[in-house]
Amino acid sequence: MKKISTLKLAAAMAVLLTVAACSEKQETRTPSVISVGQTEFNVRAEGGTFTVTYSVASPVEGEVPEAICPESWVGSWEYNTQDSTITFKVEPNSGNDRQTTVSVIYGDAQTPAEFTVYQSNPNKIFAEDLEGTAWTAMTCTFDRNETLFHGINPEYPSEFLFDFNLGEYGEYVVITAGEFADRYAMDWNQDINNQDNLISANDVLVFDFSEVVQGVTCYYNVSFANGVLDIHDGQVTPVGSAKVQRILGKYTYDEATGLITVTDEANELYEREVVIQIRKDGEDMLLNVIETWWPDYLAEHIGYNDRFGFNLYNYDGTEIYLPAGELTYRLKKQ
């Protein structure tokens, strides 16, 4: 028998090792990589059902992704491997804004895919809820301390009332909404004709636009159209009607804060910036004008606060007041 030389044997072993190495490389696979088609979901307070797509590089036959969320308000996962989708539910939110991050794991994927769910509070209004809508006020609520009632001169209703008997040199008449409401409720309840219909001061702190007084109806309307905010109020009487343009101009809206900023051009004599706070309450919108500008003759009395569009009388009609300050309008969609 011929002996195989050492050189030939070494060569043969090298070939075998090379073949074995190639075989090992062919059997080694690349780890899976999973990704999702959407990384953020902005969900309204009422919640709902949502779907996210996913894709897997270097998939493993029979392997299914798994979504993991640390919060219980996101769940009810359903996986569709044919469509590469994951369906989940978001529960209704009755509290503050909230968010959570969902991790999607898959087989030997070293890094999970992630997406974040942001859910708004029940009071948040989205920009798409405004454009092309019209609203009318049902009520305006006065704050006991933050709404001030400025006395108006009964003989000259365009003037604020100055009382020379107040202070050392006289002062303009100003009381809080709470003081006005307490007096009004007391006078109402002392009237013998009202003994079957007693009221509280809290009743007086709410102006009801649906009430018709001596045939007169008041209104306060708000609309959003083509990027323009229109706020006007007025009265309808048996002999005619009157309308006053309060705010009119282009607006921007910050969904995160609920603040509307308006470049108001309603008055031909001046242009001003007005900031308005809005929020939801059920199907209604609550609106407060929180910052505005007035000419000096008004600003020296009411500052840069909102003013009510209508004068109010005390119970016996001997005193007239203009409310200004914190005014909260409750609006319903028309």
User: Which pair of structure tokens corresponds to residue 292?
Assistant: 């505005």
pLDDT at position 1 over 80: no
State the pLDDT at residue 26: 54
In the chain, the percentage of residues whose pLDDT exceeds 70 is 92
pLDDT at position 13 over 50: no
Alpha-carbon gap, residue 56 to 44, rounded angstroms: 30
Kindly report which listed range (18-27, 57-66, 250-259) carries the lowest average pLDDT score.
Answer: 18-27
State the pLDDT at residue 268: 86
**What sections of the chain are H helices per DSSP?**
6-27, 177-190, 201-204, 296-302
| Close Cβ partners of 334 (under 8 Å, ≥ 6 residues apart) | 134, 135, 136
Alpha-carbon gap, residue 120 to 98, rounded angstroms: 7
Q: CA-CA-CA-CA torsion for 21, 24, 25, 30, nearest 10 degrees?
A: -160
Report helix, strand or coil for 300: helix
Burial class (CB in 10 A: 0-12, 13-18, 19+), 241: exposed
- Per-residue pLDDT reduced to its tens digit, 186-232: 999 999 999 999 999 999 999 999 999 889 999 999 999 999 999 99
State the pLDDT at residue 213: 87
State the pLDDT at residue 317: 94
Contact (CB, 8 A) for 287 and 139: no
Question: Length of the chain, please?
Answer: 334
Confidence of residue 120 (pLDDT cuts 50, 70, 90): very high
Query: Could you state, in order of their start, the residue ranges of all structural domains in the chain?
Result: 33-119, 127-333
Question: What value does the mean pLDDT of the chain take?
Answer: 92
Report helix, strand or coil for 245: strand
In the chain, the percentage of residues whose pLDDT exceeds 90 is 86
* Domain 33-119 listed as CATH 3.20.19.10: no
Confidence of residue 29 (pLDDT cuts 50, 70, 90): confident
- Per-residue pLDDT reduced to its tens digit, 274-328: 999 999 999 999 999 999 999 998 899 999 999 999 999 999 999 999 999 999 9
